[in-house]
Each structure stands twice: as C-alpha cells, then as structure tokens.
Amino acid sequence: MQTKRLLHERKELAQEAAKGAAASGFILEPEGDSMSRFRGYLCGPPDTPFAGGRFRVLVTLPPAYPMSPPEVRFRTPVFHPNVHFRTGEVCLDVLKAAWSPAWSLASCMRALLVLLACPEPSSPLNCDAGNLLRCGDERGYRSMARMYVRRYALPDAKDETTEADR
C-alpha cells in the first residue's frame, strides 16, 4: 500500500465527515490506527426505499491497494439485488473488474450510494430482490427493501449482527 496515497485519502474522508453524513451521504473512518480497515455507514438515498436508513459498511484494503480494489461489505442487512444478504458482499463492477487506481475510498462510497438508488438486477447476489425487479414487480421490491430498512437500518432498529461481524 502506498502510505502517501492513504494519508491523502484519510484527509479526504475527514473532510467528507466534517460536512456531515447528511451532506455527503456517508461517513468512513479508519478502524483505530489501521491503514487497511475502515468502518462507516451510508445514509439511505432520498426517494428510495432505503431513505432514512443507516447502513454500516466495512472496507478492507488489500496489500496491493490502490492497484487492487478494496473489499466492501455491508454489515447492516439490506434487501438489494447487488448485495448478498448474509455476507454483505457487493456486486459492483468498479469494485471488481472495472476497478481503476483513479478511484478513491470516497468515490467508492459514492458509487455505493448510486447502487442503492439504482439497482442492477441482471447480476444479482440476492436472487429474490433481482427476480422481483426483473419481473417488473417494483412495488414488491420497494416494499421488501423498506421492510428490511425498518427492521435493521433505522436508528432504533434491532442490531442483528453477530460479534464476528464487528
């Protein structure tokens, strides 16, 4: 990992945090003094079934970062075709084959916000969510997604994660 690059990214993330989650849509901070693990959350985008939700994420940087993409996982269960319900794994091209070192951690977080607002049902990790959208049942998808937000992502929601997730 390039220390200079990570220091610059940490500064960028601190500037985003200073704006507040409401302005940027996310907070991402290093886990302790770690240079390779970040914890944070995304605010559910307005005008989506995720609005009002707060979704915890864990970002782990590989040793080859920024030449290799970070691993991003949702720690809050989310009903979305591109997020695996149990593992939190994300199916997003910029976190896989389309990764470029030009991307930063902040831009990854913004891409996740766009993904929440604009799901891609043709490459689902959650087949139930993908099938609802592929068959045109937008109402059913939005209803299920909103139910998950109420159960897991609202401030007073019960935290269903295990100690191993933390």
Q: Give the residue numbers annotated as catalytic, written as ranges.
A: 91
Whether the link from the prior residue into 66 is cis, omega within 30° of 0, is yes
Query: What secondary structure does DSSP assign to 48-108, as a single string?
Result: STTTT-EEEEEEE--TTTTTSPPEEEESS---BTTB-TTT-BB--GGGTTT--TT--HHHH
The distance of Cα 158 from the centroid of its chain, to the nearest Å, equals: 19
Residue type, 82: N
